[in-house]
Amino acid sequence: RFGLKKQPVSAFIALGANLGDAPATLRWALGAIAALTGTRLVRSSSLYRSAPIDSSGPDYINAVAEVATTLHAPALLAALQQIELAAGRERPYRNAPRTLDLDILLYGDASIHSPHLQVPHPRMGERAFVLVPLAEIAPVRVSAAQLAAVQGQAITRLG
């Protein structure tokens, strides 16, 4: 079948929201991701609060999830975008406040550079709201130097 691999790949997905009930939306999104065809939620980080970067609006709630998926990366991206739409995501302008944002950070060891998808995510190393939750669930994926580079960005672990 198109869009499916034979063996599951480990992928890491960043979740973020700053409109509506963001914690509830992220919990809902984790369930929706776990329900994707050929996809199993392996683990997810705690929820974190962070100030918007290159954006505006209220603070963001962020998390990172690891999935094992047989979806090819473009099919996974398309499925994540459908989840965003189901959560009311609109894209009125670049970096607008959002009800839900889902980004593929890592897809196995793949390096993907297409007009629609770049993996590893090109800005993940610049953002505490990605690196801190990623380090929580997959410490081998984040170096001490990467964490040191973002230590000035305020991020708070929730409950």
Residue carrying the six token digits 């599951």: 8
Residue of 27, 40, 91, 98 marked catalytic: 98
Is 101 a known active-site residue? yes
Residue of 49, 103, 127, 141 marked catalytic: 103
The model's pLDDT over 63-76, given as tens digits with 9 standing for 90+, comes to 999 999 999 999 99
- Put simply, whether the predicted model's pTM sits higher than 0.75 gets the answer yes
Report the distance separating Cα 152 and Cα 55, nearest Å: 17
Report the distance separating Cα 40 and Cα 145, nearest Å: 31
The model's pLDDT over 6-63, given as tens digits with 9 standing for 90+, comes to 789 999 999 999 999 999 999 999 999 999 999 999 999 999 999 887 777 889 999 9
Residue carrying the six token digits 């979740």: 15
